[in-house]
Structure 1
């Protein structure tokens, strides 16, 4: 009986650990978004995180009903790296390309968004310095 309960507890813990990994740490996707940086702020009550919004070119309908208002595409994101966040703060209002990673869920200490910017690809017409690439071993 005790052995069965122990196995059940271990299985429950493994399933829970797998769920937490998949929901919060598994990188679901990655890509580059381009647009005008609307704002970059540092906010939070317990965990101070960097949050930003990129306004992308193009328009979409706000709803599926005819006559709905037209809105621009907005990309809300978080930034973990303080240096990237401060550079974004200095360049608010400029066109830029940002490389990001998408997770299945947000963590309070990582930011409010499931999208986390990891690199600035370009600001305006200036390309950022490419990341160091290490040869495959």
Structure 2
């Protein structure tokens, strides 16, 4: 029986730029980093206690190894507190953000990483 989502694989063009974005701008931490047989993967998460993490993979290498995979970025929604403060903080850090709007689920805004992949953040 599945009881939780463990990791979400993100396939990126520039792993170092992706790590810098997620850690320096969004505030994630690096939980683990490994390199083996020419393949490097970096596990990042919002905190040490987070039950779900991202693993950043090199898109070009994965495409060669598994050409059948869809390497597009999944639609990911983050839950957060103090969304208005986060919205202002993301703007101040130069992160591309959409409007902060009220939806039936709560206040929400979209933001983009350095490769223009969009993510959503909702106040819970």
Verify same fold: TM over 0.5.
Answer: no
Task: Work out which of the two has the higher radius of gyration on C-alpha atoms and give 1 or 2.
Answer: 1
Name the TM-score, length of structure 1 as normaliser: 0.22
Name the TM-score, length of structure 2 as normaliser: 0.23
